[in-house]
């Protein structure tokens, strides 16, 4: 069970929050839907808010440019908590300058993470490791060393690390990240793969997502010298709804297959990119703001909301 610090007025969150986290990504930088509207329509109680990046220095900012507090993101967190929900905040993502790159030492990076954790009294964070944060070996180690410091200060904080995957599971850089974390004694609550944007075309995205997760399980068992049951409980899947950047199609039936898998093995996290895209496209609508397939609005969010562990 995760417990939190006392909250200031206007920043209150539920007294107790437990894993697993069924928390789809909500990107507030592009006119995302009102989160309380989504909560009422789907029953989802948690969101992963994207993204915290570098403002050009070793300092966190929403989308790398919006102020950390006092803006639309802060207002959204307050509204979600007032409605009985909670949030994780995600660092990184695709594009922009990552804190793992901008902050030159583990101590500085940990301080940047803690600034966000303390500002919103967070019980959960996500580090979406992409681009230079995953490709550069020195940055990978810096990120792990920083999270060791964060964990030491707040052992009950839920930490998710999210990374890309192939049908065969994490790539070499992802496996190296896992091995470095295990070697440094970092306990990660949810090693989360993004099983889409594969280098080769896949037809059954639900099946291949499960295959990739099984490969992640094996990587965790080797790195942490643990049983399959323990590995499953420190895993997560974060898919993408509808048409992906690589042209794959992820359907509602694929999400239903993933839901059966995360339920069967009690995974720590179930997410997807993104709530903003969880409706069909209108004429002229940008691909990053709709799913690109025929669907009922919030169909994918509703499936994620059904996961209770």
Q: Which residues belong to the active site? A: 130
Under a CB-based contact definition with an 8 Å cutoff, are residues 300 and 307 in contact?
A: no
CA torsion, ordered 275, 53, 125, 228, to nearest 10 deg? 80
253-258 CB contacts, 8 Å cutoff, 24+ apart: 253/206, 254/204, 254/205, 254/206, 254/209, 255/206, 255/300, 255/303, 255/304, 256/206, 256/303, 257/206, 257/207, 257/209, 257/210, 258/206, 258/209, 258/210
Q: Helix, strand, or coil here: 164? A: strand
Strand partners, 191: 161, 235
Under a CB-based contact definition with an 8 Å cutoff, are residues 4 and 121 in contact?
A: yes
Strand 249-250 and strand 242-243: pairing?
A: antiparallel
Q: For the chain, list the strands marked E by DSSP.
A: 21-22, 25-27, 46-54, 60-62, 86-92, 124-128, 158-164, 190-194, 235-240, 242-243, 249-250, 269-273
Q: What residues have CB less than 8 Å from 152, skipping those under 6 apart?
A: none
Strand partners, 240: 273
Q: What residues have CB less than 8 Å from 277, skipping those under 6 apart?
A: 240, 241, 242, 288, 289, 290, 291, 292
Q: Which residue has the tokens 């839907």?
A: 33
Q: Which residue has the tokens 């949030």?
A: 87
Cβ atoms < 10 Å from Cβ of 217: 22
């Amino acid at each position: 069970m995760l417990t939190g610090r006392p909250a200031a007025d206007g920043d209150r969150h539920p007294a107790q929050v437990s894993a697993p986290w069924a928390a789809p990504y909500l990107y507030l930088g592009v006119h995302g839907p009102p989160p309380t509207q989504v909560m009422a329509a789907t029953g989802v109680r948690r969101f992963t808010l994207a993204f915290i990046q570098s403002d050009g220095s070793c300092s966190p900012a929403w989308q790398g440019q919006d102020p950390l507090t006092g803006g639309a993101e802060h207002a959204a967190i307050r509204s979600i908590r007032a409605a009985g929900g909670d949030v994780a905040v995600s660092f990184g993502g695709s594009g922009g300058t990552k804190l793992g790159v901008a902050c030159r030492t583990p101590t500085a990076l940990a301080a940047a993470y803690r600034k966000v954790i303390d500002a919103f009294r967070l019980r959960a964070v996500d580090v979406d490791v992409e681009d230079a944060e995953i490709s550069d070996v020195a940055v990978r180690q810096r990120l792990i060393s920083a999270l060791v410091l964060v964990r030491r200060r707040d052992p009950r904080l839920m930490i998710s690390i999210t990374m890309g995957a192939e049908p065969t599971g994490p790539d070499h850089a992802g496996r190296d990240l896992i091995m470095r974390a295990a070697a440094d004694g970092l306990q990660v609550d949810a090693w989360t793969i993004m099983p889409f944007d594969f280098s080769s075309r896949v037809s059954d995205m639900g099946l291949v997502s499960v295959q990739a997760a099984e490969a992640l399980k094996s990587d965790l068992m080797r790195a942490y010298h643990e049983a399959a049951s323990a590995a499953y409980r420190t895993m997560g899947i974060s898919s993408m709804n509808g048409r992906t950047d690589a042209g794959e199609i992820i359907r509602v039936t694929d999400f239903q297959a993933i839901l059966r898998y995360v339920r069967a093995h009690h995974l720590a996290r179930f997410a997807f990119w993104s709530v903003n895209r969880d409706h069909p496209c209108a004429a002229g609508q940008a691909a990053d703001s709709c799913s690109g397939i025929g669907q009922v609005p919030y169909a994918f969010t509703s499936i994620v909301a059904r996961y209770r562990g």
